[in-house]
Amino acid sequence: MVMNHMVQLMKQLSTKLSPTIYTSAQQQSSAQQLSYMRQLQRELKREDVLDIPLAKLPVVVFDLETSGFYPDKGDRILSIGAVKVTGEMIQEDQFFYSCVRSEQLPSAEILALTGLKKEELEEAPPLGEVLQQFYRFVRHSTLVAHHASHEKAFMSHATWQTLKLPFQHRIIDTSFLTKVVAPKETLVSLDDCCAYYGIPVADRHHALHDSLMTAKLWKASISEVQQAGYETLRDIYLFLAKGRTTRI
């Protein structure tokens, strides 16, 4: 029920051309934000989440909409959506969404695909501000994404270009668990994976809605790997390292 309210809220806000939703309304100075980021990265280097039980593992499932596939060739982040998940519990009231200001509008095809509007991108906060707010939302949580190499490439490039800091967060691809629970299935796209688990697909290529669908995919996968006897990320890494291919 809460999730439905959140989706309705997103639709209402989208029609009003609201480019940004933050779970925290406080704004801090750039110097304070950068100081926080440096401290967060120092703490991330000391953390090891591999032995945290999956039932208690806090993650932030996120999605990026971008103008293309190659950040090093000028493609840009257009919007970021994310939701917090602990174990199998999607924290429906803990979400993040923001468009990113774009001086150069993406192609008409990208605008049509994502549903983003010219006004949203022109009125949105700049990339550096959005990233700082996003990292405050994420804190120490492990990141999860579908086809995570895309998200990692853009986050690495954007974090260095705007904040002059390396991208330090651990990021896990949802296919990491799919290889364990459904090794014989050909599950590539988010639509394929959602269909396999019976997860409804709606409002595709909207960063927040895609992150919510990915969160449900993560939840379903976590449930299956735990039922199969895998309790931590380390257990799964060890299983995959053995190169086993039989379905569990």
- CB atoms under 10 Å from CB of 87, counted, come to 17
d(CA 179, CA 240) in angstroms, rounded, equals: 8
Q: Which amino acid is at 202?
A: A
CA dist 59 and 68 (Å) reads 26
Q: What is the chain's pLDDT, residue by residue, as a tens digit (248 residues)? A: 444 455 454 544 443 334 455 444 344 556 666 666 666 566 555 567 888 999 999 999 999 999 999 999 999 999 999 999 999 999 989 999 999 998 889 999 999 999 999 999 999 999 999 999 999 999 889 999 998 999 999 999 999 999 888 998 889 999 888 888 888 888 889 999 999 999 999 889 999 999 999 999 999 999 999 999 999 999 998 988 876 544 43
What is the predicted pLDDT for the residue at 187? 86
Which residue segments constitute the domains of the chain, with CATH numbers given?
A: 2-241 (3.30.420.10)
Note the pLDDT of residue 33.
65
Query: Using CA atoms, how far apart are residues 160 and 157, in angstroms rounded to an integer?
Result: 5
- Tokens 């100081």 correspond to 35
> Token pair for residue 192?
């394929």
Place of tokens 């001086």: 103
Can you spell out the DSSP letters for 44-107?
Answer: HHH---TTSBTTT-EEEEEEEEESSS-GGGT--EEEEEEEEEETTEEEEEEEEEEE---SSPPP
